Amino acid sequence: MAGAVEELLKKRAELTGQRQTLEQQIKQIDGDVAAIDQVARLFDSSILPTTTPRKRAPAGRSPFSGENLSAIVLKTIREAKEPISTAACSAAIARDKGLSGDDPFLRTMPSRISATLLNLEKRGRVRQTGTVDGRKNLWEIAR
């Protein structure tokens, strides 16, 4: 059973790497297209740039699709050696999920983690143990 899990994790890492490579290729192509548009406008100012509209990530693209976010957050807090901030919890989960630094999901992730933590606090599963810089809450498993 452990061998199957290791193979799945290897395959996941491989696919994540392929995805990051493709994202880099798309950025390069977008830059090349923009450069061509710019040069074409030098010859004919009536040429309009061909822009590709930014698309929102499809609903099913969330890295948590089919997973229990509360369980992921609890696991992350349990593995932390000391109380952890919402931002640190988000960063640890993003790292575990293999999210790239430009993934659009990273913008909404801290608010989702924060909402999950507040829900877990209401259920008595986690508690706030102080703050960092007087603003950021620190969280730990409620014992």
Same domain, yes or no: 33 and 79? no
Same domain, yes or no: 92 and 46? no
pLDDT at 49 over 70: no
Same domain, yes or no: 75 and 112? yes
pLDDT at 119 over 90: yes
pLDDT at 122 over 80: yes
Residue 16 counted as domain residue: yes
**pLDDT at position 83:** 92
DSSP line for 92-109: HHHHHHT--TT-THHHHH
Residue 14 counted as domain residue: yes
Model's pTM, two decimal places? Answer: 0.55
Residue 120 counted as domain residue: yes
**pLDDT at position 116:** 92
- When pLDDT is averaged across residues 73-89 and rounded to a whole number, the result is 91
pLDDT at 36 over 90: no
Q: What residue numbers bound the domain in which 12 lies?
A: 1-55
Same domain, yes or no: 73 and 136? yes
**Total tally of structural domains belonging to the chain:** 2
Q: What is the pLDDT of the chain when averaged over all its residues? A: 83
**pLDDT at position 130:** 84
Residue 25 counted as domain residue: yes
Residue 64 counted as domain residue: no
Same domain, yes or no: 78 and 108? yes
Residue 2 counted as domain residue: yes
Residue 61 counted as domain residue: no
Print burial letters for 110-136: b (CB count within 10 Å at least 16), e (below 16).
Answer: bebbbebbeebeeeeebbeeeeeeeee
pLDDT at 94 over 60: yes
Could you tell me which residue, 54 or 4, shows the higher pLDDT?
4
pLDDT tier for residue 126 given thresholds of 50, 70 and 90: very high
Residue 27 counted as domain residue: yes
